[in-house]
Amino acid sequence: MIRTEDGWRRFCSERGTSGDQVFDILKDWSEESARLTQEISGLMLRPLNLDDLEQIYKWRNDPEIMARTRQWRMLEWNEHLRWFNNLDHDRDIMRAITVKALSLESNMVGVCGLTHIDWVNRSAEVSIYIGDENFRRKGVAKEAIRQLKVMAFDQMNLHRLWAEIYSFNSPGLGLFKSCGFGYEDILLDTVYRNGKYYNSHFYNFLEDAWKNEKSDTG
């Protein structure tokens, strides 16, 4: 049986206790389980701000994320700060991925963006990670990429999005396939990790594909 806060208070007072301590434990537990199990009811991309920096620093240095991205070593705080201060918003647009799950506050669960923006040839690279592992495999990255497509094609008038995924990154490969990106090519021995060379797979998503996707989804 699922009880509301009032329900638990009534349950405890019927047994002669205010139940505050029990209630606090149950509240923590139910918030945590809601976070882990509930459907996400809203996802938004918003600009990064200074308050996000500490969390993003942890994610950028998370070995699991580092292993799949271009970053091959731990970053120092000063380097991270410099990265944030030097973000040139005409060349690299980074956004915090925020979600709302059940009754919880909306919170940042990852970062995504368009990098290497080329205004002359109208192309950009897609970059994304979901740092909060509780929110992986819930369709968050897929929806974030859909919102990046809106930004890229409907607001920035870009023609081509592309992504480079290392051959050992099966979640990344699956993600771009499931977002309708076309397979472009393979470059051999592009990345050296743990004493071995790996290949890069390139994917693209062109303006026409976006028009088709929009007309298919109404």
* Binding residues for ligand COA (CB under 6 A): 65, 68-69, 127-130, 136-142, 165, 169-172, 174-175, 178
CB of 118 to ligand COA, least distance (A): 18
Q: Which is nearer to ligand COA, 128 or 161 (CB)?
A: 128
**Is residue 182 within 8 Å of 174, Cβ to Cβ?**
no
> Under 8 Å CB-to-CB from 22, ≥6 apart: which residues?
8, 12
Q: Which is nearer to ligand COA, 25 or 187 (CB)?
A: 187
Q: Which is nearer to ligand COA, 153 or 201 (CB)?
A: 201
Q: How far apart are CA 27 and CA 149, in angstroms?
A: 38
Tell me the C-alpha to C-alpha distance, in Å, between residue 168 and each of 145, 178, 187, 197. 21, 17, 14, 11
CB of 15 to ligand COA, least distance (A): 43
CB of 132 to ligand COA, least distance (A): 9
Annotate 108-138 with b (16+ C-beta within 10 A) or e (fewer).
bbbbbbbeebeeeeebbbbbbbbbbeebeeb
Q: Which is nearer to ligand COA, 7 or 42 (CB)?
A: 42
Question: What residues are paired with 164 via a beta bridge?
Answer: 202
Q: Which is nearer to ligand COA, 135 or 210 (CB)?
A: 135
Q: How far apart are CA 189 and CA 168, in angstroms?
A: 12
CB of 107 to ligand COA, least distance (A): 15
CB of 171 to ligand COA, least distance (A): 3
> Under 8 Å CB-to-CB from 62, ≥6 apart: which residues?
131
CB of 208 to ligand COA, least distance (A): 23
Structure tokens at 15: 């047994």
Q: Which is nearer to ligand COA, 21 or 115 (CB)?
A: 115
CB of 178 to ligand COA, least distance (A): 4
Q: Which is nearer to ligand COA, 30 or 169 (CB)?
A: 169
Q: How far apart are CA 39 and CA 118, in angstroms?
A: 36
Residue nearest to ligand COA (CB): 174
**Is residue 19 within 8 Å of 8, Cβ to Cβ?**
yes
